[in-house]
Structure 1
Amino acid sequence: MTATMAAKAQAGVLPEIADPMQVAPKDARELSRLFFDQLAVLEEGTAEYQYARNTLIEMNVTLVRYAASRFRSRGSEEMEDIVQVGTIGLIKAIDRFELSREVEFTSFAVPYIVGEIKRFFRDTTWAVHVPRRLQEARVQLAKATEELRSRLGRMPTVAELSQLMSLSEAEVNEARLASNGYASSSLDATISATSDGEAALADFIGTDDHALELVEDFHALAPMLAELDDRERRIIHMRFVEELTQAQIGEHLGVSQMHVSRLLNRTLAKLREGMLTTS
């Protein structure tokens, strides 16, 4: 920062910066303090306020690029897209930062930036929702696969990945399966050419869902369940919804497993008879 800039700042006049994005990180830290100091007393909505805020954003974009560089292995998204998302976090940090916190702005801003980028990956890059642990395992799997492929000159086996990742083979397979949810294809996507022309993905993956036949049975069963007493409904819920064993149900109800078995059989027989009657 030049002496002229410092003098203007001390006089309460913000220095003019031709290209804030070209300001060196060290100078950006010093200038940011001055701009934050003025931003606190400027009236929001004025040209001076907008200049101070926009300059702070542009001077600190290097923070966003630094944070974004940590996510290069997360997927095929263009880095510029990730930077744009991270910039939203930077703007939030600028709007919420106060010099009275006595903390460096960089330390304050980076969690906002990283949080916004992670939210972007969590909310927009997975075609279907999978647990966080599997999302993280997918990243670990991608890194381990690339490392072993470079080292071995071939695709690694599940056992080799398991050893490098310190996970069981079942967990590696689970991470592989979860990776299928990272991106989706349209059912109208063309996958090959046939003698009749182009073929759509939907032509090959569509199957009859026989479970749909159960919908009518469920509708018929609902009023019968409503007619059961509280204990009968509770037993049915614990057995078929919570999937408790008869012994566990007995512990909840304070009765023996044999008594639970008799109650359950009697209730199921009542429901079965009602279903046969309605059909």
Structure 2
Amino acid sequence: MTKDEYYKLGRKLTKEERKELFREYDRTKDPQIRDILIEEHLYIAEILSKKYAGKGIDYEDIYQVASIGLIYAIDRYDLTRGYEFSSFATPTIIGEIKKYFRDKGWTIRVPRRIQELSKKINLANIHLSQKYQRTPKVEDIAEYLNATPEEILESVEASKAYSPQSLDVSYDTGDDKEINLSDLIGEEEQYYDKIEVNDLLETAMKDLNEVERTILLERYINKRTQVSIAKKLDISQMTVSRIEKKVLKKIKQELKKTMGI
């Protein structure tokens, strides 16, 4: 398929059409086919870029990096391994974005006072953890550093762009719960996790027969009981229970194989 033929279609390609293009690209390495595949999958780069937006680097810069990651994924993708492309591309793109954040470091426009406070917070966290034998609260760190809780959280937010590892640090909320720094800042892109999960489930379900698929969908999508499903399929509730267990075991094994566990 040429780019002219693609644009004449006036629509997005179907899944099978995209797979056929990947096969053709694998054979020919035709740059026109590569361009079509990039355009067809730019939505993945867009979704993942939004996940990291608002963290110290302009969205357009992140999107450019994500697009480069997408190109790498297209060049490396092997259709014969059975992965959906989006499942393969997602970690590749995220890796490029995180690498970009690490490389930028403090060249992101962060005030020096925030840089200095961030270092003090890390040291205070270690000291107070040893002193109290628990994860320190934000208020504990603020008191120790003679700062306000707002200043601590401001520094945490700014340092998020500099050091993604710091997001693993936990703080006590005072309600017998601990939260990660990532929980204090920003929102998750609601469609991000669905990209990979949906593809993995679709791969895992492809070998199920109609009865098995019906039981799985009715139980976990439509939230129906085993008794109501048994009546619908005119089989016993015990049979539904047995098939459900077998299907879940089959899907679990397929997911492990797909994810290389």
Larger radius of gyration: 1
Q: TM > 0.5 between the two?
A: no
TMscore range, shorter length: 0.3 to 0.5
TM-score, structure 1 length as denominator? 0.39
Instruction: Indicate the structure with greater helix content.
Output: 2
